[in-house]
Each structure stands twice: as structure tokens, then as C-alpha cells.
Amino acid sequence: MIERKNNLYAWLYLLPALILIGGFFIYPVIQTFRLSLYSGLGFNPTRFVGLKNYVQLLTNDKLFVSWFPPSGALFNNVLWLLLYPLGVVGTGLIVAVLSDRVKYEPAIKAVIFLPVMISATAASVIFRFLFSPNPVIGALNAFLVKVVPGFQAVPWLGRASLVNFATIIAAVWIGTGLSMTILSAAYKSIDRGILEAAKIDGANGRQLFWRISLPMMANPISFVSVTAIIASLKVLDLILVMTDGGPRGKSRVIAFTFYQEVFRNHYTGYGSAVAMLMLLLLFPLMVVQIKRLKKEKI
Amino acid sequence: MRKFLILLAVFLFFTQNFLSAAGTGEKGAKVDPKDKYVSVMAYWGGDEEAGFREVLKAFTAKTGIPYIYEGNRDMGTLLNLRIASGDPPDIAMTSSPGTMARYAKEGVIKALDGSDPILPKDILNKNYSQAWIDLGTVDGKFYGLTVKCNSKSTFWYKPASFKALGVSPPDTFAGLLEIADKYLAAGKTPYSIGGGSTWTLTDWFENIYVRVAGPEKYLKLFVTHEVKWTDPSVVKAFGYFKEIVYPENKLAGGVEGTLSTGFIDGFDVILRKNPGAEMYFEGGFMSSFAEQNFPKLVGGKDYSFFAFPEIDPKWGKPVVGGGDLAIVFEDRPNVRELIRFLASKEANTIWATAKKGAVVSPNKNVPLNVYPVLKGLEAAQVTQAESFVFDGSDLSPSAIGGDAMRIALQNFITDPGKLNGILKTLEAAAERAYK
């Protein structure tokens, strides 16, 4: 009897969370899946087409995915997935560790952290200027033209082979601040006694870092990595402002395709199929993240 | 509990009052002796609204007929609702000839040239060239009076640069190509294209296509898709476009520079001190950017435009652009008065010289000297146009005009040799979009 009452209370306490999850996650997902089976314009498409949207998306939409040679939004996102977390964690870690050794640490950190407070839209505009092919506007080209003899201005955002790297660099610039802060805190919380002991035992700087500091920061690093991976799969605003998916659609990613199809082309069903694929890719990451949050502290 | 109910009642009372007060916020909307007022609905706000109100005020001053202006940015939805509930405005302004045609076919708007015409033929013919009468005509009846318009067939150049090269604005496409060659020979780059803003490329194509295939086929390509993207006329038009963009040394920054340059930057390229190119093509509205970015340069002197040149003498120089058409839902004497006034030289001159929101008027009797120089050139172009077509990419489904067509044009500029494949992909997208 007592147990049943407890059960009831448990459910009662869970209710608000369940309502929120149900209303804002599960229901929309079901609805999106339903939409993805229809074709037509607007949010009330009427033509049921089954899995045709998925087939079209994966076999006949070169802008989304072209399997051989691999290109399209899906593979661009793979590039993001590989490079963005690497960039954010790598630079964050380097800054966190190196700045710990200098006096003006707070100043360095403040500068690196600054971009976090700028909206992605504004940052994208900054980078658009920076990357402009016109040396009068584009600082990067102006610099290279001055410094490297015979250098021809490069249209960083107009060349299909460069554009994804250019956008990723911009994203890393924005994202490093936060990862640096988290990793720096982790680095500082390492017990100095352990490092001292290792030093006395004859470990050099490199060994200290790779054998002691890094393993002791494993948790925060994996937290930052997973967050970055999720961010790389969801990236949209930056691309929208910096390149609008161009040139020739070569910088599109999954979220961009979703936005383009639903809100610009009004292909709600088709766009929903894109969203479902995105969710499918994100789902394992969410599970990993939640599991980790459950058992470990950051 | 009782206290709560009383509070609730008081609260509801006030919110009700507040809401209804907000609902009647628009000037004079409380009075509703319908036949006394003329009501006009448009999507204009800000300066655009101010300019139109000057015209309406002059109308009231002249005739004593009061007006109600309803401005709503999301007018399309509202207008449909009002029509459905049997309470449309007397006159509405639409920027879409397609919407006008639909209303005409549904019979919800009045033909202006009936047996007892709302707008007598002689007023219309006296003030408008055939292009504008054609634009407002659906199935042989005249429904839409164009009240303002703009041109996207304006080719920007620098008179001093042309003079130095020893050329004058070209009349034909061949003439344009000659000028480009002369620029190349003189070590200069002829064109700047803001191909990063992909819609500039669609404007290029539209101007070429309507000159190659004529207005009728143009509408069949963009509106009804009776002409396929693989049609020989489309291939032909792309052939002309190739003459502009290939080889890439004709373009400021080459292909990649073109694809990463926005439409304002593209214009800046020809206007700045060390210009990257000499000519730029985009609509008449570019002058406002030049004024802001280069306040020292004088429009009409340091930079000006000529009409996008002729390709086939059969079609001449049609104007591609946009405009707003007045359509009439109620036929009453007061409404007739306003429509006739809107078609007059008087009203159009007021509008063209409004302090805020001055327009380019399609009325051919508005003296061109009332405009600032460049607006006057634009007005001359639109009032004398043999034919006027709306921006085709705006008329087509957004998946085409806003997406597939733009990608196709960017791909074409990158590699003109792949035209067949590009058009096949575009046609496949069109088949999906027009279904």
C-alpha cells in the first residue's frame, strides 16, 4: 500500500518533466516523422508518398549527398564533425595549458573568450569581411598580398574547395572561448601535489602533460568534445550568413538543407525527412551525453 | 474565492476594452457609412505609405471624398480573409499579377473596362503605354492599373570610363560585347557581377531570356512551366549569357570572385577608386546604395545606366521589373473617382515628387524632369517600354526561382560546358515544383 502511494508520488513529481518532454520533444518528433511521409507545399501537405522523400534525398539530391565522389551537405557535415571538435578542443586545450604559465593569463583568456559573447550572426559578418576576395575589404587577403610576394587574392568563400574550411575556422574562433574556460578550470583543479611528485620522480614537461594532466582532464575533454560534435551537426546560422550555402551549394550542411527546403522552398515534407535524418545522427550522441551526465561529474 | 472572481471580472473588463480599443486604432475606422468612404488596402508602410497618403490627401482635397487606408505587411492573407467574409476593401494594391489573375478568374474583382467602364478607355490610353495595359489584362479584360513600378533592366556604367574608351552606351547585345572586348584590349575588366547574392544571376538570365524568346514564352517558362528548362530557347539564352561570363577574365575576380561577391559589393567594385571592373548590371534601385557608399559621386554623371541592350529586334528591349497594381472590389461612384484619379497625370506627378516614398510612375504623362536624374531615366525606360514583365524568379515557385535556378546559374558560370547536365537537373527540380 505504501509502495503504491510512493509510486503515485513519483509519477506526480515526474509529471511536469513528462509533459514538457512529451509536448516539446516526443510529439514534435512524431509529427515531423508524419510530415516526412508527405509531399506538397506548406505545413499541411496532403499527398502521402511513403518513404519517397527519403529515397529522393539519399539517391537523387546531389546538393544533399552525392556518394561518389563524396560531396554534398551530408559529407560537408562529416567534415564539420571531424574538424570542428578537433579545432575547438585542441585550441581550447592549448590556450588553457599555455596561458596558465604566464602572468597576464586573465587578459589572454578575456580576449579568447570575447567571441563567445558575440552573436554568431555578427561573428559571421566579421568573417565575411575578413575573407572577402577584395583586398580593400578583406583583411586576410590584404595581409597576404602585402607579406607574400606575388600573392594573388584568394576568394576564400568563393572557392568550393576552401569554403568549408573557412566557415569551420570561423566557428572554431567563436567556440574556442567556452572550451578554453572549461578546460582551464579542469586544468587548474588538478592536484598540484601529483604534478610535483611526478616532477621529483623525473618526469619532463611533455610527460607531465601527456601522462598526467591530460588523463586527469579526460572527463571535461569528453564533455567539450561531445558538445562540439553536437554543435557541428546542428550548425546553421554561421553558414546562412557567411555563404548562404554557396558557392554553388557547396557549403550546405544538413541543418541548412532542412532550413532551405522547409522555409524557403516550402517543401515541408521533404525538409522533415532531412530533420529526421539529422535526429537519427544526433540520437546516439544524446544517449552518450545523458549516460555520462548520469554517472560522472564534469 | 469571491475576491478572486471579482478581480478576474475587472481584469477581463479592462482587457476587453483595451483590445477593442486597439482594434479600432486605425484612423476613422469607427465610422462606417460605407458608400461615403473609399477604402484602400496595401502592404505599404513607412515611407511608401507616406508617399501614397500624399496622393490620397490630394484626392480628398479635390473631391471631398474621405478615404480609409489600411496598411498591412501581411496583406495577402488578410485580403483573402476579407474576401471570404464578404468584406473586401474597395481597392487593393497587389504586387503580384498572378494574384490579380486569380481574383479575376474567381470573379471577385471588377473589370475596369466594362460596358459602363470604371476607368474609361480614353483616360487609360492617354496615360499608359500598351505594355502597362497588357500587364493589367486578364483574358482580354482590363483589371489592374499599375500605379508604381521599378526597372531591373538597368545596365550601370561610368560615362567617363566610356568616354576614355571612345564608346557610347550600346543599343544591341553585340554592341555590349564589343565594348567588353575593347575594355579587355585596354587591360581592363569589363564586368562585375554580384553573383554571391545569387538572385542577381537570375536577373541576368531573365533579361536575356525575354529578349531572346519574348514575353509570352517568358511567362510560359516561369509561371506555367509550359516551356521546359531544356527548351532550345533556354539553351539559346544561356549561349548569350556565356558571351558575358566566359572566359572568366571578363569578370572582376574571375568566377570565384563573382560567386563570393554580394550585390552591393559588386557595384562598389566599379565605383571605387581602383575599380575592379567597368560595368555592372542590376536594378534601378542600385543608385541608392551608390549614394550611401560614395556620397561624393554624382548619380547620372559619375555613374549612370543604359537599358539592357536588345538581342532580337523582334522583341526589342522589354523591361524586367516589379510593380504594384490597383484592383477594384466594389464599383461605386466614389471608387470610380479614386481609380480615375490614380490614373491621372496629376496624381502620378504628386506621387513621383512625394517628399517621402517618391515612386517611378508608369504614367507616360508625368514630366520626366520632375524626377531626380536617375529616377527620370528609369521612368523614361518604363513608360516607353514595348513590354514589361515581372521578375521571373519571383513568379516561379520558390524551389526554382529561389533555389534550383540560382544553383544552376552559379554552376553554369563555373563551367559553361556542362550546360546540358545543368539544365536537366533544373528541369527535374521544376517538374517536382510545378506538380
Residue B22: pLDDT over 70? no
Range B33-151+322-385: architecture per CATH: 3-Layer(aba) Sandwich (3.40)
Is A32 a member of any domain?
no
Dihedral through CA A20, CA A24, CA A27, CA A29, nearest 10? -140
DSSP letter assigned to residue B108: -
Residue B260 forms contact with A (CB below 8 Å): yes
Residue A197: which domain range?
A: 61-295
For B303-360, the pLDDT digits (tens) are: 999 999 999 999 999 999 988 999 999 999 999 999 999 999 999 999 999 988 889 9
Is A28 a member of any domain?
no
B9 pLDDT band, cuts 50/70/90, is low
Best probe of the A interface among B192, B259, B432, by most A CBs < 10 A, is B259
Mean pLDDT over B144-155 rounds to 94
Q: What is the pLDDT of residue B23?
A: 38
Residue A152: pLDDT over 90? no
- Alpha-carbon distance A32 to A18, whole Å? 19
Is A15 a member of any domain?
no
Tell me how many domains chain A contains: 1
Q: What is the mean pLDDT of chain B?
A: 90
Residue B17: pLDDT over 50? no
Shortest alpha-carbon distance between residue A249 and chain B (Å): 7
Residue B30: pLDDT over 70? no
Superfamily grouping for domain B154-317+396-433:
Periplasmic binding protein-like II (3.40.190.10)
- Alpha-carbon distance A167 to A69, whole Å? 22
Cβ separation of B265 and A265 shorter than 8 Å?
Answer: no
Residue B414 forms contact with A (CB below 8 Å): yes
Residue B184 forms contact with A (CB below 8 Å): no
Residue A233 forms contact with B (CB below 8 Å): no
Q: What is the pLDDT of residue A275?
A: 94
CATH number, domain containing residue A210: 1.10.3720.10
B18 pLDDT band, cuts 50/70/90, is very low
For A22-63, the pLDDT digits (tens) are: 999 999 999 999 999 998 777 777 789 999 999 999 998 889
Pairing of strands B141-142, B137-138: antiparallel
Residue A80 forms contact with B (CB below 8 Å): no
Question: Which residues does chain B have within 8 Å of residue A159's beta carbon, measured at their own beta carbons?
Answer: 256, 260
Cβ separation of A62 and B425 shorter than 8 Å?
Answer: yes
For B281-307, the pLDDT digits (tens) are: 999 989 888 988 999 999 999 999 999
Shortest alpha-carbon distance between residue A6 and chain B (Å): 32
ipTM of the complex in this document: 0.82
Residue A61's alpha-carbon distances to A233, A244, A257, in angstroms, are: 19, 18, 11
Considering CB atoms only, which of B256, B399, B407 is closest to A155? B256
For B161-171, the pLDDT digits (tens) are: 999 999 999 99
Cell (9 digits) for A258: 532542412
Is A2 a member of any domain?
no
Is A10 a member of any domain?
no
Comparing alpha-carbon positions, the chain B residue that sits nearest to A159 is: B256
Q: What is the pLDDT of residue A83?
A: 96
B180 pLDDT band, cuts 50/70/90, is very high
For B232-291, the pLDDT digits (tens) are: 999 999 999 999 999 999 999 899 989 988 899 999 999 999 899 999 999 998 988 898
- B/e letters for A86-119, b = 16+ CB within 10 Å, e = fewer, are ebbbebbbebbbebeeeeeeeeebeebbebeeee
Where, residue-wise, is CATH 3.40.190.10 in chain B?
A: 33-151+322-385, 154-317+396-433
